[in-house]
Chain A
Amino acid sequence: MSAAPDHNPTFAEVTLMQRLDKALPVLLIPLLVVIGLLAIGNPSSWLTLTVSGLAMGMLIFAMASGFTLVFGLMDVINFGHGAFISVGAFVGVSVLAWLGTWTEAPSLMLNVLAVLFAGIAAMGISGLLGWGFERVIVQPVYGAHLKQILVTMGGLIVVEQMIHVIWGPNEIFINRPEMLKGAITFGAVAIEKFRLLAVAVGLILFVAMRLVLKRTKIGLIVRAGVQNGEMVQALGYRLRLVFIGTFIAGSALAGLGGVLWALYQEVVTAGMGEHMMVLVFIVVIIGGLGSVEGAFIGALLVGLLQNYVAFLEPKLALISNIGLMTAILLWRPQGMLPVVKAK
């Protein structure tokens, strides 16, 4: 027999090191917030920007979470993920227009209900589209990254063009529901109401997702599947079903992100999904492909940085995110919290 591994490793120390390792990325968020304050100087503008950065981050996270899980589970790169964002936005906006009497009424409850319905409709349609997309576009190209990238990109274009066919060639401007317009002011600080709602929705989403992933059996299966899909099957679970479920859920979340993003920007275009995918890619790359926590941290970093830089030097906003990605990849080439694939 050759030398065997140590039977009694220094267990506590390893944990401490690893904890530190995992905690570092989280600490980047407060670090960025503090740097933002120093750079901006004016606390009230800083607070406004921080809230809108967090809101943006939460929405990007909603869009990115499905993408990263789908990759983690089945090694599928879905460049067409942006299609669900756009479709969700258009469906949601149509529902809001249809519920015009609710959105125009000066009642917070009716307004929120309208947004809720729009969100549910968007999730439903995007989820359905995701199901079809998985069957028609993704399934025939399992295991072939090159074809996956090409075919899902083709799928994105087709869906985008169909949006033009259905909803017309132009962008649609929308009004936020009556009570979600304007800002709440605390002294000198003005914070848009809708951004607060977006932060709240994003937080609820993140907490709910964490609970599902940590506490439920299905979450356990998904987390295990991201690491070692073969073993999950060998324990008797149908990985394929789990994957389809995740794909649909991820598409639905992208759709929800789409509606909220449309309300955030007050405009929808067929190309918005494609544009958001640029941010989604940056977020999942810096977060570590396949990692939900990583995507969350990455999304907040991107949202905050984008807002701070847009205030300081508008032209550099998008480039600043490329800079962030470069810096993080220099620090950790696999992203902040890469998923350890057990092979």
Chain B
Amino acid sequence: MLTKLLSGDSPRSVILSALLIAVLVCLAFAPFLFPGVRALETAATICIFIVLAASYDLLLGYTGIVSFAHTMFFGLGAYGVALASTHMGRGFDALIVGTVAGAVLAAILAAVIGLFSLRVRAIFFAMITLAVASAVAVLVSQMSGLTGGEDGLNYKIPRELTPAFKLMDDKLFGVRVNGKLLNYYLVFLASFALVLVMLRVVNSPFGRVLQAIRENDFRAEAIGYHVVTYRIIATCLSAAIAALAGSLYAIWLRYVGPDTTLSFEIMLDILLMVVIGGMGTIYGAILGAVLLVLAQNYLQDLMEGAVPAVEGLPLLPELLSPERWLLWLGILFILSVYFFPTGIVGRLRKPRA
């Protein structure tokens, strides 16, 4: 039953299984285990970034294509919900319309980009996605009439998903049972389902073909698979799921803006999550997302705390300031690509392989 749920792709490592179960349990009971607004925010963000990173892994890890437009697709889903909620008024119908529209648009856009670049050379894809994504980001911040520009959009979501909605008067295990809690479980369950779907995809015959293409595209073509078609389908799928993650994020935050959805920093975070966790495993994306979101939320505080300790020393305060977070991410990124190309999951699975 469990194996079937995981599409036959078991973690194949005791430690990895334990870690994944821990992540699942922590997220499933996060509101009760870790009280407080900030902890719940972090847990929801982790859920969403797990989906986002895993959908990126579908592309990077399973087809070997680098895309820099993943945040654009993420943003499409988020802005879809935001715009629908703004223009249709608060309601579940707006959420659904926005989500579906975002995912469909993302898939179409991905198909168009794929047709232009993957047909010629896979490396075109990285360059073209970077160009298109940054053009879209600029466009979004300029078209302030529609998108709110740099300020982004605030909008109302159904009352049932907000703290104002009370399900029970009493607290349950010391936690208020309100719309916020419902919202969290919407995010959690949707994320959980999406991860299972992705596991299903990569372990299907389709997923096997993708991996064959990644290993040797000439041979895959020679065996008779139309490589470009497979790559484009993978791109569309990955884009649509990223858009769904974006919709969840928009529902959770009740706000979208370029910084929270489209920024290049998020793109780098996703890359790092997948690479550190282990490309081509889905499970790696889960661990990578957990690690990175936690680090981002708590490690930066630590760095801030360290600055006074090195006050007066040359250069060190600047290097350790939380604003230089990206510097350390960059170094970590390079090192992990060199020395750790299979990521955490690869390392954990190695002894058994």
Contact = CB atoms under 8 A, between A and B. Distances in A.
Interface of A: 77, 79, 137, 140-141, 145-147, 149-151, 153-158, 160-162, 164-165, 169, 274-275, 277-278, 281-282, 284-285, 289, 315, 318-319, 321-322, 325-326, 329, 333-334
11 contacts: A79-B130, A146-B66, A150-B275, A157-B330, A161-B327, A165-B315, A278-B131, A285-B127, A326-B116, A333-B116, A333-B119
Listed residue (B122, B324, B337) with the most chain A CB atoms within 10 angstroms of its CB: B337
> 5 tightest A-B contacts by CB?
A161-B327, A157-B330, A154-B334, A154-B333, A158-B330
Given A158-B334, A322-B135, 8 more contacts: A77-B126, A141-B338, A147-B337, A153-B271, A164-B324, A165-B319, A281-B128, A333-B119
A325 B117 CA distance: 11
B323 interface: yes
A147 B60 CA distance: 11
Interface stretch (B21-29, B30-38, B138-146, B204-212): B138-146
Nearest to B315: A165
A260 to B, nearest CB: 22
B295 interface: no
Nearest to A158: B330
Given A158-B327, A165-B318, A329-B116, A321 B135 contact: yes
A310 to B, nearest CB: 12
A108 B126 CA distance: 44
Nearest to B268: A157
Contacts of A145: 122-123
B19 interface: no
Given A151-B338, A165-B318, A278-B130, A157 B326 contact: yes
B329 interface: yes
A322 B132 CA distance: 7
Contacts, number: 105
A169 B333 CA distance: 22
A150 B61 CA distance: 13
Given A77-B123, A315-B142, A326-B116, A147 B341 contact: yes
A155 B335 CA distance: 10
Contacts of A277: 130
A79 B124 CA distance: 12
Contacts of A77: 123, 126-127
Contacts of B122: 145
Given A281-B131, A318-B135, A151 B337 contact: yes
Interface in B121-172: 121-124, 126-128, 130-132, 134-135, 138-139, 142-143
A162 to B, nearest CB: 7
B264 interface: yes
B120 interface: yes
A151 B334 contact: yes
Contacts of B130: 79, 277-278, 281
Given A150-B275, A315-B142, A161 B324 contact: yes
A286 to B, nearest CB: 11
Contacts of A333: 116, 119-120
A141 B334 CA distance: 11
Interface in B253-276: 264, 268, 271, 275
Interface in B93-127: 116, 119-124, 126-127
A206 B130 CA distance: 27
Contact of A315 (B119, B139, B275): B139
Nearest to B331: A158
Listed residue (A155, A284, A329) with the most chain B CB atoms within 10 angstroms of its CB: A329
A325 B139 contact: no
Contacts of A325: 128, 131
B64 A146 contact: yes
A148 B60 CA distance: 13
A339 B322 CA distance: 45
B334 A334 contact: no
Contacts of A278: 130-131, 134-135
A289 B122 CA distance: 13
Nearest to B275: A150
A157 B329 contact: yes
B298 to A, nearest CB: 21
Nearest to B119: A333
A165 B329 contact: no
B261 to A, nearest CB: 19
B139 A318 contact: yes
Contacts of A137: 334
Nearest to B126: A149
Contacts of B326: 157, 160-161
Listed residue (A140, A151, A156) with the most chain B CB atoms within 10 angstroms of its CB: A151
A285 B124 contact: yes
Given A150-B333, A150-B337, A157-B330, A165 B66 contact: no
Nearest to A77: B123
B248 to A, nearest CB: 27
Listed residue (B64, B131, B315, B324) with the most chain A CB atoms within 10 angstroms of its CB: B131
